[in-house]
Amino acid sequence: MTTTHTGAPVPIVRLEDLHKRFGDNEVLRGIDLEIQRGEVVAIIGPSGSGKSTLLRCLNRLEEPSRGSVAINGTELTGNRRELARMRRQVGMVFQHFNLFPHMTALGNVMEGPRTVLGLRREEAERRARELLARVGLEDKADERPGTLSGGQRQRVGIARALAMNPDLVLFDEVTSALDPERVAEVLRVMKSLADDGMTMVIVTHEMNFARRVASRVVFLDEGRVVEDGTPEQIFAGAREPRTRRFLNQLE
Ligand code: ADP
Ligand code: MG
């Protein structure tokens, strides 16, 4: 494990005074957050509170307006080589799949390892088949996304993110676009990753899932971290009225 000169582990994510504005709209208003290896962090909060923007700043799909983002101890500055390295370390699964429609499930999972990691075809295919099996889709390897259900597509998306062997995987409301009966199969795969020790940041409205699976829950409101604690602390004893109001609305 990487450590600092004081012997403390280097956090996988360190955000300091992160701000993001779109024109006059200040969406992130000074976020400080450290995430350690092995943590499963659920980010919850009202629609528009900045959850997606926060995730997108983490892997620099958005450029912060102020403050710093460090991944594995390296501050992201926009340097292209560093960005490329960071993108290999940080996987992302989106709400709307973002699979290549013309490729099979297997092709989608092999693509990153082939083009970015430079794996030979046989090696990339072997790994991709293992990962498809891991998400319960070994028999769908040759299907294209168009013939898969939403839940199956989302599981291909997870396998594709894992194929890069990331240190950290970001999930942005990956079950929100799914039919209710498809949600559980995706959450089950995510829980198994968490059980295996994967470091995960999960933006979700599935409060039962957050309660069961997260090691830590962060409540974001109007671009600020209002609360940060264990699931027990947040769900049973939220200190802030805003958090309690948000949780009560969901019930
Ligand atoms: P959440 O994911 O919590 O619902 P978002 O991070 O998507 O919130 O959005 C927070 C705010 O930022 C919203 O007001 C949204 O309209 C605005 N926003 C997000 N992305 C952009 C963008 N690319 N351009 C302009 N405004 C944006
Ligand atoms: Mg969002």
The full length of the chain comes to 251
| Average pLDDT value for the chain | 94
Render 9-44 in DSSP notation, one character per residue: BPPSEEEEEEEEEETTEEEEEEEEEEE-TT-EEEEE
CATH number for 36-250 (one of 3.30.465.10, 3.20.20.100, 3.90.600.10, 3.40.50.300): it is 3.40.50.300
State how far the alpha carbon of 133 is from the alpha carbons of 83, 125, 140, 156, in Å. 30, 12, 9, 10
DSSP 84: H
What are 10-31's pLDDT values in tens digits?
Answer: 999 999 999 999 999 999 999 9
Q: What is the pLDDT of residues 45-87, one digit of tens each?
A: 999 999 999 999 999 999 999 999 999 999 988 888 888 889 8
- Residue 4 has a pLDDT of 66
Is 70 exceeded by the pLDDT of residue 3? Answer: no
Q: Would the pLDDT of 211 be above 80?
A: yes
Cα(20) to centroid of ligand 1, in Å? 10
Any residues with Cβ below 6 Å from ligand 1, and which?
A: 22, 25, 27, 45, 47-53
The structure tokens 């013939």 sit at: 147
Q: Whose CA is nearest to atom 20 of ligand 1?
A: 53
Beta strands 216-221 and 40-44 are parallel
Q: Output Rg (C-alpha) for the chain, integer angstroms.
A: 18
Q: What is the pTM of this model?
A: 0.94
